[in-house]
Amino acid sequence: MKLLKLITKNAGRHKLRTILTVVGLALAVMAFGLIRTFIIAWYASARASAPDRLVTRHSVSIVFTLPLAYKEQLLQVDGVEDVTFGCWFGGIYVDPKNFFANFAVEHTSFLRIYPEYIVPPDQLDAFASERQAAVVGRKLADRFGWKLGDQITLTGTIYPGDWQFVIRGIYSGKTVDTDETAFLFRYDYLDERMKEESPGRAGQIGWYILKIDDPNRSAEIGSKIDARFDNSWAETKTETEKDFALSFIQMSSAIIVGLRIVSYLIIGVIFLVLANTMAMTARERISENAFMRTLGFRGYHLVGLILGESLLIALMGGLCGMLLLYVVSSGVGVALSQFFPGFEADAMTYMLTTATAILIGVAASVFPINRALRIKIVDGLRVVD
């Protein structure tokens, strides 16, 4: 199209204004992408969960414990192939600011049911043969510079006192979504000391993880289990690992909802920024557009000119924003890798931002186009700018 040059020249007519608009769009696009990436990362634990794993916990709340004795009964439930358990420890390493997940697991079964935690065989053997052994995630070890054989002391919060551990294994995750920041140690170490110090709390665990033979039967198996412990001293609630992870995330769902709203507001802001620029343009070019029509240019020529300019600015903003998003999200990804495994803007986010930019480019040109086409030539020519 011969008018292509005019589109780019028009977009560059007020250089400062166009640059400010593009920068505004770029920042907004980046913010939108970052929030979306953050939300996705937030749900990563749920995404990483396996469909053939159920979690059984106390029906009232995860903070209530279950008797260790349930394990044998769970194994007898039809469809349950394997059972392990975990117990939240909540220990502090030197300073509460150093927060990371640490919990006791049944060392004989836990890593069998969690094949996504990859531990070298010799380290597995070491974990099995020493009561104070701990296996930690690769990122956690990196964070504190831990090496195999290091002595670590955690100060208990739920289980009082200082607790000594020896790092005997460092696991890595099978996929980027696998959390590599957990600290796992042996339940028998915890239980043994509880028997001495407060016998009433011995033989209690936090939650069971069950491997089932058929993911399609998870609801059925879950309700069978919960029925079995109905009216017992500790009633249970069984759900898929995904629902279990989501129930944690849901605790902070208000934040997520807030973020989602903010991200939609940002789209609104992007639109207003561009629409404002295009509206100014429309006002300035009333007589110019009327003059073009006097020459014989048609409505569709003006549509092309205005839409083209709007799209051009929107796409420049979108492109700059995506570049920023790429740079910033990889930076943030490195900084937050402790908390969010796999924080990285995905292809879908880039596609969405591109689509949003195009949509906004089109939407922002509607008013100026309407204005340019509606006004009569003679009236447009009378407007002196």
Partner 1 sequence: MNAPIVKILGLFKSYYRDSLEIPVLHDINLDIPQGQFLALMGPSGSGKTTLLNLIAGIDRPTSGTLAVAGEEIGKLTEQQMAKWRSRHIGFIFQFYNLLPVLTAYENVELPLLLTSLSRKERKEHVETALSIVGLSDRMKHYPRQLSGGQEQRVAIARAVVSDPTLLLADEPTGDLDKNSAEDIMTLLARLNKEYGKTIVMVTHDPRAAEKANFVRHLDKGELQQ
Ligand X SMILES: Nc1ncnc2c1ncn2[C@@H]1O[C@H](COP(=O)(O)OP(=O)(O)OP(=O)(O)O)[C@@H](O)[C@H]1O
Using CB under 8 A as the criterion, which residues of the chain lie in contact with partner 1 when the complex forms? Answer: 2-3, 5-6, 9-10, 12-13, 287-288, 291-298, 376-378, 381, 384
Q: Where are the beta strands (DSSP E) in 181-315?
A: 183-186, 204-205, 207-212, 236-240
Least separation in angstroms between CB 12 and partner 1: 7
Question: Which among ligand X, partner 1, none contacts residue 254 (Cβ within 5 to 8 A by kind)?
Answer: none
Instruction: Choose among 207, 321, 215: nearest CA to 274.
Output: 321
Least separation in angstroms between CB 6 and partner 1: 7
Considering only residues 197, 214, 230, 379, which one is a binding residue for ligand X as defined by CB under 6 A?
Answer: 379
Least separation in angstroms between CB 350 and partner 1: 32
Asked if residue 81 binds ligand X (CB under 6 A), the reply is no
Containing H/E element for 171? Answer: strand 162-173
Considering the complex, state which of residue 62 and residue 381 has its C-beta at the smaller distance from ligand X.
381
Considering the complex, state which of residue 9 and residue 112 has its C-beta at the smaller distance from partner 1.
9
Question: Which among ligand X, partner 1, none contacts residue 10 (Cβ within 5 to 8 A by kind)?
Answer: partner 1
Considering the complex, state which of residue 98 and residue 294 has its C-beta at the smaller distance from ligand X.
294
Question: Which among partner 1, ligand X, none contacts residue 9 (Cβ within 5 to 8 A by kind)?
Answer: partner 1
d(CA 34, CA 174) in angstroms, rounded, equals 25
Question: Which among partner 1, ligand X, none contacts residue 195 (Cβ within 5 to 8 A by kind)?
Answer: none
Question: Which among partner 1, ligand X, none contacts residue 174 (Cβ within 5 to 8 A by kind)?
Answer: none
Q: How many CB atoms lie within 10 A of CB 357?
A: 24
Least separation in angstroms between CB 19 and partner 1: 16
Instruction: Choose among 190, 170, 189, 167: nearest CA to 180.
Output: 170
Q: SS3 for 113-170, per residue?
A: HCCCEECCHHHHHHHHHCCCEEEEEHHHHHHHCCCCCCEEEEECCCCCCEEEEEEEEE
Question: Nearest 10 degrees: CA dihedral of 95, 99, 101, 105?
Answer: 0
Using CB under 6 A as the binding criterion, the count of chain residues that bind ligand X stands at 2
**Residue 91 is encoded by which pair of tokens?**
């220990």
Least separation in angstroms between CB 291 and ligand X: 16
Bridge partner list, 56: 208, 238
Instruction: Choose among 246, 289, 310: nearest CA to 375.
Output: 289
Considering the complex, state which of residue 7 and residue 286 has its C-beta at the smaller distance from ligand X.
286
Question: Which among ligand X, partner 1, none contacts residue 298 (Cβ within 5 to 8 A by kind)?
Answer: partner 1
Beta-strand relationship, 183-186 and 102-105: parallel
Q: Which residue has the tokens 């909540």?
A: 90
Answer yes or no: are the C-beta atoms of 343 and 37 closer than 8 Å.
Answer: yes
Containing H/E element for 196? Answer: helix 187-197
Question: Which among ligand X, partner 1, none contacts residue 381 (Cβ within 5 to 8 A by kind)?
Answer: partner 1
Considering the complex, state which of residue 281 and residue 329 has its C-beta at the smaller distance from partner 1.
281
d(CA 60, CA 66) in angstroms, rounded, equals 11
For residues 325 to 364, the per-residue mask of contacts with ligand X, x marking binding by CB under 6 A and - elsewhere, is ----------------------------------------
Least separation in angstroms between CB 38 and partner 1: 42
Considering the complex, state which of residue 94 and residue 377 has its C-beta at the smaller distance from partner 1.
377
Query: 188-227 burial, b for 16+ CB within 10 Å, e for fewer?
Result: ebbbeebeeeeeeeeebbbbbbbbbeeeeebeebbeebbe
Considering the complex, state which of residue 292 and residue 322 has its C-beta at the smaller distance from partner 1.
292
Question: Which among partner 1, ligand X, none contacts residue 13 (Cβ within 5 to 8 A by kind)?
Answer: partner 1
Considering the complex, state which of residue 194 and residue 383 has its C-beta at the smaller distance from ligand X.
383
Considering the complex, state which of residue 25 and residue 375 has its C-beta at the smaller distance from ligand X.
375
Note the residues at the interface with ligand X (CB under 6 A): 378-379
